Amino acid sequence: MSSHPKPEEPPAQTQQLVLGEDEHIIALRKAWDRTLRTLANKYNKATFKNFLQALQPLSFDGTIIVFGAPSAFAREWSEKKYSQELRGYLEQHLDTTGLQLRFVTASSEVHPLLGEQPLPLQQAASPSAGAPPDRAAFSGIRDGIRPEVMPRRSEPAKESSRIVESNNPFSSELTSSALSDKYTFDNFVVGKSNRLAQAGAMAVAQGLGSTYNPLFLYGSPGLGKTHLMQAIGHYVRATLPHARVAYVSGETFTNHFVMALRDKRTEEFRRAYRNVDVWLVDDIQTIASKEQTKEEFFHTFNTLHQQNKQIVITSDRSPRELRLMDERLRSRFECGLIADISPPELEMRMAILQRKAILENLRIPDDVIAFMASLIQSNIRALEGALIKLMAYASLAKSPITKQLASDVLSSYFVERMPSFAPSPTDYVALRRPDTGSGAGAAVDIILDAAAAHMGVSKEMILNGGSRDKDVALARQICMYLCRELSKTPMSALAVTFGCKNHSAIAHAHSRMRGSLESDPKILAIIAGIRGAIEHSL
DSSP 101: E
Q: Residue 232: what pLDDT? A: 95
Among 20-24, 401-405, 444-448, 479-483, the least confident range: 20-24
Q: Write out the H or E segment, with its range, that includes residue 288.
A: none
Between CA 33 and CA 50 the distance in angstroms is 17
Q: Residue 7: what pLDDT? A: 46
Residue 95 inside a domain? The answer is yes
- Dihedral pair phi/psi, residue 533, rounded to 5°: -65, -40
Q: CA angle at residue 167 from 165 to 173, to 5 degrees?
A: 80
Look at residue 310 and give its three-state secondary structure.
strand
Question: pLDDT-based confidence at 443, cuts 50/70/90?
Answer: confident
Residue 5 inside a domain? The answer is no
Any idea what the CATH number is for the domain that residue 386 is in? 1.10.8.60
Residue 332 inside a domain? The answer is yes
Q: Are residues 214 and 310 in the same domain?
A: yes
Q: Residue 537: what pLDDT? A: 62
Q: CA angle at residue 443 from 437 to 445, to 5 degrees?
A: 85
Look at residue 189 and give its three-state secondary structure.
coil
Any idea what the CATH number is for the domain that residue 473 is in? 1.10.1750.10
Any idea what the CATH number is for the domain that residue 87 is in? 3.30.300.180
| The one-letter amino acid at 510 | H
Look at residue 179 and give its three-state secondary structure.
coil
Q: Are residues 50 and 189 in the same domain?
A: no
Between CA 523 and CA 81 the distance in angstroms is 37
**Helix, strand, coil % in the chain, rounded to nearest 5:** 55, 10, 40
Question: pLDDT-based confidence at 159, cuts 50/70/90?
Answer: very low
Last residue of a domain, one of 319, 340, 361: 340
Last residue of a domain, one of 324, 340, 356: 340
The answer for 195, left when phi > 0, alpha when psi is -120 to 50, beta otherwise, is: alpha
Binding-site entries: 222, 224-226
Q: Residue 536: what pLDDT? A: 60
The answer for 481, left when phi > 0, alpha when psi is -120 to 50, beta otherwise, is: alpha
Q: Are residues 323 and 386 in the same domain?
A: no
More confident residue, 351 or 114: 351
Q: Are residues 32 and 48 in the same domain?
A: yes
Question: pLDDT-based confidence at 446, cuts 50/70/90?
Answer: confident
pLDDT digits (tens, 9 = 90+) for 124-152: 333 333 333 332 332 232 233 233 333 33
Residue 145 inside a domain? The answer is no
Residue 416 inside a domain? The answer is no
| 105 has a pLDDT exceeding 90 | no
Any idea what the CATH number is for the domain that residue 237 is in? 3.40.50.300
Between CA 16 and CA 10 the distance in angstroms is 13
Other beta carbons within 10 Å of 499: 12
Q: Are residues 452 and 382 in the same domain?
A: no
Q: Which structural domain, as residue segments, surrounds residue 464?
A: 442-537
- Measure CA of the first residue to CA of the last residue in the chain; give whole Å: 76
b/e burial code for range 419-439 (CB count within 10 A of at least 16 → b): eebbbeeeebeebbeebeeee
Strand partners, 281: 248, 313
Cβ(431)–Cβ(443) under 8 Å? yes
Residue 423 inside a domain? The answer is no
Between CA 309 and CA 303 the distance in angstroms is 9
Q: Are residues 330 and 221 in the same domain?
A: yes
The answer for 145, left when phi > 0, alpha when psi is -120 to 50, beta otherwise, is: beta
Residue 403 inside a domain? The answer is yes
According to DSSP, the β-strands at 245-249 and 337-340 are: unpaired
Q: Are residues 394 and 327 in the same domain?
A: no
Residue 162 inside a domain? The answer is no
Q: Are residues 92 and 205 in the same domain?
A: no
Q: Are residues 185 and 278 in the same domain?
A: yes
What is the count of structural domains for the chain?
4
Tell me, rounded to whole angstroms, the distance of Cα 107 from its chain centroid.
28
Q: Residue 523: what pLDDT? A: 80
Q: Are residues 466 and 374 in the same domain?
A: no
Cβ(37)–Cβ(132) under 8 Å? yes
pLDDT digits (tens, 9 = 90+) for 263-277: 888 898 999 899 899
3-24 average pLDDT score: 48
pLDDT digits (tens, 9 = 90+) for 176-197: 667 888 899 988 888 888 888 9
Last residue of a domain, one of 340, 358, 388: 340
Binding-site entries for ATP: 222, 224-226
Q: Are residues 336 and 353 in the same domain?
A: no
Q: Are residues 199 and 277 in the same domain?
A: yes
Between CA 165 and CA 272 the distance in angstroms is 8
Cβ(454)–Cβ(529) under 8 Å? yes
pLDDT digits (tens, 9 = 90+) for 29-70: 888 989 999 888 888 776 787 778 888 888 888 888 888 887
